[in-house]
Structure 1
Amino acid sequence: MNKLSNNAEGDGVTPLGPNASIWERLGSFAFRRRRTVLAAWVVVLVGTLAAVGSIGSSSESSFESPDSDSLAGFEILKENFGAGGSFISGSIVFEAEQGVGAAVVQVEMSALFDEVGAIEEVTLTSPYSPIGEQRGLVSPDGSIAYASIDFDENTDELRASEIGRDIETLVDQIDIDGVSIKIGGAALAEFEPPESELIGLAFAVVILILAFGSVLAMGLPIGVALFGVGIGVGTITLLTNVMSIPDFATTLGAMIGLGVGIDYALFIVTRYREGTRDGMSPHDATVRAIDTAGRAVLFAGLTVVISLLGMFVMQLAFINGLATGAAVTVAITMVASVTLLPALIGFAGERVEVTRWRGLIMAGFVAVALLAVGLGFAPLAAVFVVMAIATLVMSFFITGLREVVPPRAEKPLRETWAYRWSRFVQHHSWPMAIGVTVLLLVMSIPVLSLRLGFGDESTFAEDTTTRQAYELLAEGFGAGSNGPLLVVAELDDPSQLGAAQNLVATLNDADGVARALGPIPSENEQAFQIFVVPETGPQDEATSALVRELRDTVIPGAVELSGLDVKVTGAVASSIDFSDYLGARLPVFFLAVLTLSFLLLMMVFRSVLVPLKAVIMNLLSIGAAYGIVIAVFQWGWGVELLGTGSGPIEPFLPMMLFAIVFGLSMDYEVFLLSRVREEYDKTGDPVTSVADGLAATARVITAAAAIMVVVFGSFVLEDARVIKMFGLGLATAIFLDATLVRMLLVPATMELLGEKNWWLPKWLDRLLPALNVEGGHDEGAIAGEEPEPERELVDA
């Protein structure tokens, strides 16, 4: 084989034959035209970031569900009450020792309310106004009061957060003895840019160096992931201007992009290094890596994208936005893995295998610096950056720092711990299979108590003004005051107001209602609204039960003869409708994803039992991960350690976790079982082929899973409760999949089934299309190579 010159495009490259696959041509092109490819990616990255800086972003979380009672109620509010139809709101809560009615308090707070109310997008209802008195915005003992803040329907979450900072500035200017002021409402809470991904990057540096034994090989996956995440997050930000995407979608995109970006690049770089160690030139090893591991990456990535976009069947703008954001990041990272990565490999060439002591030491300092920034110790990080630079400078004077680190000795395959472990598991296959299955089922028990819903402000950290405002409102007005219900209806005749007054009396007598205030007619006298304060908080199960009871029994009985079409709406009712809508459709989505998984794996492995086992194991690992999330965030086991509170599980989280983990576990499944099948095809031995396949893939699967677990797990340090849930859920699912499933269940069950693993009826074999995600070279694919027999399986 000819060797490639590392400083000239196209020099010394073995030409491709006429039968080369499109993947081989892609790898060869990116390698040969590496400067062009790198420049193109840099232009795209810079252009995306420039567009973000120029255009900016918008963000919206509208939890309306189609044809729901709450949505119809919001329409009535929009048409007749203006800003009352906004999906986001907030409050200014204050407590005065001398009483909120004291002259000095009323003067100062009224001036504050006038300034806030003058903000263009804001409609403020003061407790001192006639409407405020009607709505009971002053506590019975007169010590606590609040002003409600509504936004017009075009105000997005980012703008609401900016308004929250403006209000905070105004509040800081008020200094009244005995008065405490808190800004309430999630919409007005401060949004902190995520830094947890730096913690994940720090550990990724260490894990990759341990796995590869090479600093340069470590840098390639991280570089690709950073490009993918930068462009992906920028694209999500731009998309917020044209579709409904919640503000945490960018954080979720960064989390997923980092995980899959490093994961995918790790597989390809591993395959590249195998090629160079077998005597191939850097060009030919790259071509082979893209034609094998690159295909597997595209297969796994497209599976994640398809399953995420499958959430469009829910027909909800909020879900569409989340799915689009995650899918865009995965797609961009996937494309970077098969185009940008081979270009970077072209620059590195054979130096991938060379690590000098200075590079190793500098990488260690950089990892510690990243960890320090992620944990909020930026000044300390600067010290380690200086130490890294000092190491580089000293290397020009200290010869030892420039010396090459001795390469790690590679053991024969059957002397590795992974081979011995597989044989141990296979010798105890029944106890292992039963024990692991029972353990995963026990971990899944909390799923039986799953309750979908949105956490309220009580889940915020105790030191936030949002949490303190929530508790102050609960103290003065009861827990339900943090999420009042709105009962609204249109009037066909002014005489119907009498029926509305009777409805208020009925609502006040209803179980679970603390008080009902109104009716408050609209200015056009064509509608009215009633404020209903539940006895329980917004996220309590009793509040959900109250909403259903009001709709099904209390209200129909009170207005039966009046002709009023009454709707129960408001943020709490809307979130309940949204949760019910998603909950009813989750089984259909799960069935669709599992069916897709089964069919794809059956086409890849030409087997019935292998994909069936994969589907069952996927359910077990995800079910156990759900169980951990529910035990922590719903049951409250150790939730205080994460700086949040217990509550229901966000209704979109099970769906998103399922779609993402499904694709990632498919990656590991294909990577491991393809090697097992490759060994089986060579030897015909269903026993040793399992151990050989596990031994060949254990290191890279372990490294990839460890990086994913750390990257995802680091996001539990973020402020947003939903991001904490995603981080814990994804980290747990990947950990269980890579340990209990891949290292225990797979070898145990494959030992038990033996040759039946690869059974496929002949009639089904003829019907199924062949899905070749392994590659393999046809004759003449690379000129001068001996032709290899074409295989059907993924060779990652």
Structure 2
Amino acid sequence: MSKLAQLITARSKQIIVLWLLLLIATSLLSMREGANFTDSLSLPKSESQVASDLLKSEHSPDGLGSLQVVYASKDNSPLKPKDLKRIISAIKKLPFVDSISSPFAPGSQSMSADGKIAFSTINMRDLTLSTKGEKIQKIIDRANAKNHSKVQIEFMGANNQSGGDSGSHTSEIIAVLVSLLILLITFGSLTAALIPIIVAVSALLIASNLISLTSNLFSIATFAPVLSTLISLGVGIDYALFIVSRFRQSLRESHSVEESIMISLKTSGRAVIFAGLIVCLSILGLFLVGIDFLHGVAIATSISVLVTMCAAVTLLPALLMHVGVHINRFSIPKRTNKLKIAKKDDSKWQRWAGLIQRHPVKWATASSILLILFFIPATTMHLGTADAGNNPANSTSRKAYDLMSKGFGDGFAGPLILVASIPAGADTGVLSRLYEKLVQDADIAQVAP
């Protein structure tokens, strides 16, 4: 680490420029090559995967080709055929739409009992992951253009519950703002708080670009970038916090800026590298789980952590080299520690550490009991599959889900589908008996044959 510290103190400007060039280069490459994330979340040998494979083998080879349009009366009166005719006709004329059902067709079960809520199922052809979002948006635009004020229309995908909604970066923005606030309280200085944020966000942008490029080589799930982003922000700010804290402490002990960077990298820098590599190895352990779509998650997250770790031990010290003794600028009154040697007895954290060291067994026992108490709720955890009911309240898919539940009952928008493979000459009476038993089950609201 001594040689790395010497290189950084001697070439700090060049290191900052290299990171800036890396950000520009990866951004340009990412824009040119694009991303190819996948929605395919297969679970080999699981019951749900076997059922899905059976459906695909007997019906459409592509499970992405359906979308539901939900209609609701705005004036609380029953829907009429003329209210939906223009919408259905307009959607049907789109070249990639294979068919669209009408709630008013004979034998249709897609109209609520009061006639105020209904839905149509759209089947699409020639659909791929790269064109799916664009085509769904065309359907939404066409339907909205032909709609009138009496009918509310919402959309929900049969296999992609987002229904064309685009993701936002709200969670990442909130995470950055909360982190900035915590760092500001911890350091008592805006400058000291901003530096870890700048390093973490820079590493995050580069990692995101690299993940987008990697998605063209490996199968990476659409949710992987969000997961890797939040992990990257967390470890990035954490790693930077270690090094900045050690840097400020060395300055308070009257070391020069160069010496402080040297000390920071030889102590906190080593810990950051060790922690980063351990995190990467742990995440890559997802390859051993045997679930294919988790491989891409492991790759994406490892890239984020690796880039963040490298930024913490190179870009961060280079920035500190230029900030130097001004690390405590823009301080919060009565919150910051000025650059002076602090007496050991003045440190609250040191007194706390001393208290624990004097009674290690008692504190270890108390903390173990506390951790066990925190673990107890996990023993009653109920796991389930997310559907459109988990989407943001203002999304069209969530509104469609709520309308379907209101009109047809809870669970209608997220049904459990039973699939049976019937060999030639097999007795189908067993399915009839199963149907009768399911109908009699008090916990089942409705069974559709």
Asked if Structure 1 and Structure 2 have the same fold, meaning a TM-score greater than 0.5 normalized by the shorter chain, the answer is yes
| Pairwise CA distance, 1:338 | 1.4
Give yes or no for the alignment of 1:54 onto 2:32. Answer: yes
Matches within 5 A, 1:291-440: 291-348=266-323, 350-353=324-327, 355=329, 359-360=330-331, 407=338, 410-423=341-354, 434-440=365-371
| Pairwise CA distance, 1:108 | 1.8
Matches within 5 A, 1:250-649: 250-348=225-323, 350-353=324-327, 355=329, 359-360=330-331, 407=338, 410-423=341-354, 434-488=365-419, 493=424, 499-500=427-428, 502=429, 505-511=432-438, 535=444
Matches within 5 A, 1:229-268: 229-268=204-243
The 1:151–1:281 alpha-carbon spacing in structure 2 relative to 1, beyond 3 Å, is: farther
Q: In 1, Cα distance between the equivalents of 2:367 and 2:419?
A: 54
**SS of alignment partner, residue 43 of structure 2:** coil
The 1:433–1:48 alpha-carbon spacing in structure 2 relative to 1, beyond 3 Å, is: same
**SS of alignment partner, residue 65 of structure 1:** coil
Q: Which amino acid aligns with 1:483?
A: G
Match of 1:42 among 20, 25, 47: 20
**SS of alignment partner, residue 6 of structure 2:** helix
Q: In 2, Cα distance between the equivalents of 1:508 and 1:48?
A: 56
Q: What are the Cα deviations for residues 458-500 of structure 1, in whole angstroms up to 9, with x where unaligned?
A: 233444432332232233333343234445556665x66xx55
**SS of alignment partner, residue 511 of structure 1:** helix
RMSD (Å), alpha carbons = 3.6
| Pairwise CA distance, 1:536 | 5.3
Give yes or no for the alignment of 1:195 onto 2:170. Answer: yes
Contact 1:236 1:325 in 2 (8 A): yes
| Pairwise CA distance, 1:409 | 5.3
Q: Which amino acid aligns with 1:182?
A: E
Q: In 2, Cα distance between the equivalents of 1:124 and 1:408?
A: 73
**SS of alignment partner, residue 453 of structure 1:** coil
Q: In 2, Cα distance between the equivalents of 1:284 and 1:259?
A: 28
Give yes or no for the alignment of 1:70 onto 2:48. Answer: yes
Q: Which residue in 2 is equivalent to 1:146?
A: 119
| Pairwise CA distance, 1:98 | 6.0
The 1:425–1:345 alpha-carbon spacing in structure 2 relative to 1, beyond 3 Å, is: closer
Q: What are the Cα deviations for residues 571-610 of structure 1, in whole angstroms up to 9, with x where unaligned?
A: xxxxxxxxxxxxxxxxxxxxxxxxxxxxxxxxxxxxxxxx
Give yes or no for the alignment of 1:114 onto 2:92. Answer: yes
Q: What are the Cα deviations for residues 346-401 of structure 1, in whole angstroms up to 9, with x where unaligned?
A: 333x334563xxx559xx9xxxxxxxxxxxxxxxxxxxxxxxxxxxxxxxxxxxxx
Match of 2:63 among 63, 66, 86: 86
Gaps of 5+ in 1: 1-22, 365-404, 515-533, 538-545, 547-796
Contact 1:88 1:187 in 2 (8 A): no
Q: Which amino acid aligns with 2:5?
A: G
Q: In 1, Cα distance between the equivalents of 2:2 and 2:358?
A: 41
Matched residue pairs, number? Answer: 440
| Pairwise CA distance, 1:82 | 1.7
Q: Which residue in 2 is equivalent to 1:26?
A: 4
| Pairwise CA distance, 1:188 | 0.9
Q: TM-score, normalised by structure 2?
A: 0.83
The 1:284–1:89 alpha-carbon spacing in structure 2 relative to 1, beyond 3 Å, is: farther
Contact 1:86 1:150 in 2 (8 A): no
Q: In 2, Cα distance between the equivalents of 1:93 and 1:354?
A: 57
Q: Which amino acid aligns with 2:325?
A: R
Contact 1:49 1:234 in 2 (8 A): yes
More helix by share: 1
Contact 1:256 1:330 in 2 (8 A): yes
The 1:474–1:436 alpha-carbon spacing in structure 2 relative to 1, beyond 3 Å, is: same
**SS of alignment partner, residue 314 of structure 2:** helix
Calculate percent identity across the aligned residue pairs.
28
The 1:144–1:46 alpha-carbon spacing in structure 2 relative to 1, beyond 3 Å, is: same
Q: In 1, Cα distance between the equivalents of 2:290 and 2:118?
A: 40
Q: In 2, Cα distance between the equivalents of 1:342 and 1:205?
A: 19
The 1:489–1:34 alpha-carbon spacing in structure 2 relative to 1, beyond 3 Å, is: same
Q: In 2, Cα distance between the equivalents of 1:65 and 1:463?
A: 31
Q: In 1, Cα distance between the equivalents of 2:431 and 2:49?
A: 22
Q: In 1, Cα distance between the equivalents of 2:123 and 2:289?
A: 29
| Pairwise CA distance, 1:205 | 4.0
| Pairwise CA distance, 1:89 | 4.9
**SS of alignment partner, residue 182 of structure 1:** strand
Contact 2:356 2:363 in 1 (8 A): yes
Contact 2:172 2:229 in 1 (8 A): yes
The 1:236–1:53 alpha-carbon spacing in structure 2 relative to 1, beyond 3 Å, is: same
Q: In 1, Cα distance between the equivalents of 2:57 and 2:430?
A: 22
Q: In 2, Cα distance between the equivalents of 1:154 and 1:172?
A: 22
Q: Which amino acid aligns with 1:226?
A: V
Contact 2:155 2:397 in 1 (8 A): yes
| Pairwise CA distance, 1:106 | 4.6
| Pairwise CA distance, 1:296 | 0.6
Structure with greater contact order relative to length (CA < 8 Å, sep ≥ 6)? 2
Q: What are the Cα deviations for residues 544-584 of structure 1, in whole angstroms up to 9, with x where unaligned?
A: xx9xxxxxxxxxxxxxxxxxxxxxxxxxxxxxxxxxxxxxx
Contact 1:90 1:187 in 2 (8 A): no
Match of 1:167 among 125, 135, 139: 139
Gaps of 5+ in 2: none
